[in-house]
Amino acid sequence: MKSIATSFFIVLAMASTPAFAAKPKRPPAPEVDSGPQDPMSCATMTKSEARASGCKYPDDVLVFLDDRATCQHWLGQTGYDATRRAMINQAVNKTCTGLDDRLSSLRKKYRKNAGVTRFLAKLQDIGK
């Protein structure tokens, strides 16, 4: 009988020690505001619009997005006469040239930043 009582007290003592006690649950981590629900919405914004809406990307990425939005604006314009077509072509050449190379450079620069890498991977080359 003595061994059963001793065993019971040993088990009881072990259960009350910190190593064997139930660990308290951690509170859930606070949610981080990551900006718009769809990060690709940042790709169609200017730098100031992206900052205002909470797009949390480095400044050089936002400047690139600003330049890209300007390029896409001109690519979407209609050349209804020769003068307008010339103006659009000039603007496209000025704003779109080199964007693909810049995108490639940004992808290399931020290859270790998972959030920026995922975002940049979704952007397609413009072809200029």
Q: How far is CA 20 from CA 71, 106, 113, in A?
A: 64, 51, 40
Q: Which helix (H) or strand (E) holds 121?
A: helix 114-122
Would you give the DSSP letter of residue 41? Answer: G
pTM over 0.85: no
What are the residue ranges spanned by the domains of the chain?
Answer: 36-128
Closest Cα to residue 100, out of 114, 119, 120, 116? 120
pLDDT in tens, 3-46: 555 555 555 555 555 555 555 666 654 433 444 546 667 777 77
Q: HSE (CB half, 13 Å, CA atoms) of 24?
A: 3
Joined tokens for residue 33? 């505001």
Joined tokens for residue 119? 């975002």
